[in-house]
Amino acid sequence: MGEVIRRSGTTALLSYLGFFIGYVNMLLLLPYAFRPEEVGLIRLLLSVAALASTLASFGGTQVVIRFFPFFADSDIRRAAFTRLLLLLGVAGSIVFTVCLFLFRDEIVSIYAGKSPLFVSYLWFTIPLTISLILYGVVEAFVLVQGRPIIPTLFREVYTRGILTVGALTFLALSLSLRGFFQLIGLLYCLAPMLIFLYGYRLGLLPLSGTARTIRGKELKELTSFGWFMFLGNASAVVLANIDSLVLGASAGLVSTGIYSVAMFIAVIIQIPKQSLSRVLIPLVVTANKERDVRTLDLLYKKTSLNQFVIGAGIFLIIWLNIDALFTLIPNGQLYSEGKWVVLFVSIARLFDMLTGCNAEIIGTSEYYKLDLVIYFILSIVGIGLNVILIPSYGVNGAAVALLASVGLYNTMRFILIAVVMKIQPFTRKTVITLVCVGLTYILISLIPHVDSVILDAALRSVMIAGVFGGTILGFQVSEDISGYAREILQYVRKR
């Protein structure tokens, strides 16, 4: 696990660089360059593209992660598998485009009342969606072969940099809003081509082979798994994007913009989980293939503890400085309506991290079908909660619905793994971490504020890092984090 922590360090740094770019985008640049309803439009278009690309990929990304080890025994079979999944991505792109033309009138009727601007820019979902479909397939091949850094660079840094370039160009050249979307659509389409060239040159994406090397029984299993993943992805992507979709339809683009800014503040908490997940996937796939429950148990406990420690520290910095954050955002008084969204979403993300690598364990195991049943049930619950809560409580209702869905989902996953594999992620050090969180929160809350908002936030952040980090290291909560801290300290001393 220590090696995993070190390998994930680079991806985490890239993720935080991406977050910094995203922070500048969502909290400073976009609110300055665009009106709140235009910020909401950007979020809504990206949410629709994320939803559509996940559905139209037909489970291709998960098929790659699940079955690649079974086709890695020869270059010919690996090439055949690669070509098959790339063709599936192309087919999904065609299906999405056709469906958008067929169901345009129905989509317009839903959003024309509260979000007419979205209707005017609906067609820009086509390049965004197609690029995400193809990128997801290629990225999965690169990740499953133990190369997480370049995919992380593209997903975390490049995609956020697109909005930065687009917004700066919009301001510098006085582009129209349509010109802005044309530019980011072009830049999005470059991503799958660039990551493909990277994988192809390293031999990770061989194409010389025929489908005949994939046996009929294997193709049947791939197809069956793909359909189940399609159903599971449909449920998962609905849970991830239903809040923005319902907000746009029932509350308008201004509320969507407020919600997107608040969501982004909380998203930073989960970056360690995303970074670690990219490194863990090959390890979990191999352990499941070999039925190595002992390794799965170790990974389960380590990820739960390490993710929660890092996520809790970030949460303390965010929440104890939340008013200062909104003060620094352009039009911050308007966006501060999302303050409680930050709290609810942060708690949801922390609980997700606390339950460890449950998604990777179940999703790559023989029990994935049970996970899909859970997803389907929760998608219905999530839709119902958003439809009920958003009209009455607006952005806060969306956040509460997300918290309830994430909490219920991870609880059900916890129970499933405990029952079928007899393992669980918690230890006594989990309790110690919770005590450290509570102690830090109480101590920092008692410190009076200074007049300068920036100075106050900086001082509090340093004190939070000192108190929380000191207690975590002092109690030796995580061997991996303590070891990583010692390595950094030794490096600094040598330099």
DSSP string for 309-341:
HHHHHHHHHHHTTHHHHHHHSTTHHHHGGGHHH
Q: What are phi and psi of 223, to 5 degrees?
A: -65, -45
Q: What are the per-10-residue average pLDDT scores of the chain (495 residues)? A: 54 76 84 87 86 79 70 71 79 88 84 82 89 84 74 82 92 89 91 84 69 65 70 69 77 82 84 72 81 89 90 93 88 85 93 89 80 78 87 89 90 91 92 94 91 90 92 86 79 76
* Cα distance between residue 215 and residue 232, in whole Å: 25
* Cα distance between residue 309 and residue 455, in whole Å: 26
Look at residue 214 in the predicted model and tell me its pLDDT: 65
Look at residue 44 in the predicted model and tell me its pLDDT: 86
* Cα distance between residue 115 and residue 323, in whole Å: 29
Tokens of 81: 């598998």
Residue pair 480/2 in contact (Cβ under 8 Å)? The answer is yes
3-state helix, strand, coil split of the chain in percent (to 5) is 85, 0, 15
The CA-based dihedral angle spanning residues 43, 45, 48, 53, taken in that order and rounded to the nearest 10 degrees? -110
Could you tell me which of 335, 330, 16, 39 has the C-alpha nearest to residue 163? 39
Query: Around Cβ 105, how many Cβ atoms within 10 Å?
Result: 7
Report CA-CA distances (Å) from 189 to 16, 90, 126, 165, 258: 23, 13, 10, 15, 28
Residue pair 482/309 in contact (Cβ under 8 Å)? The answer is no
In one letter, which amino acid is 461? S
Give the Cα-Cα-Cα angle 331, 334, 338 (nearest 5 degrees).
120
Tokens of 120: 């005017």
What are the sequence ranges of the domains in the chain? Answer: 2-426, 429-495
Look at residue 308 in the predicted model and tell me its pLDDT: 93
Could you tell me which of 250, 243, 248, 267 has the C-alpha nearest to residue 397? 243
* 424: three-class secondary structure by DSSP: coil
* Cα distance between residue 283 and residue 389, in whole Å: 40
* Cα distance between residue 143 and residue 459, in whole Å: 39
Look at residue 426 in the predicted model and tell me its pLDDT: 93
Report CA-CA distances (Å) from 147 to 13, 53, 201, 278, 384: 15, 23, 13, 9, 39
Could you tell me which of 151, 125, 124 has the C-alpha nearest to residue 139? 151
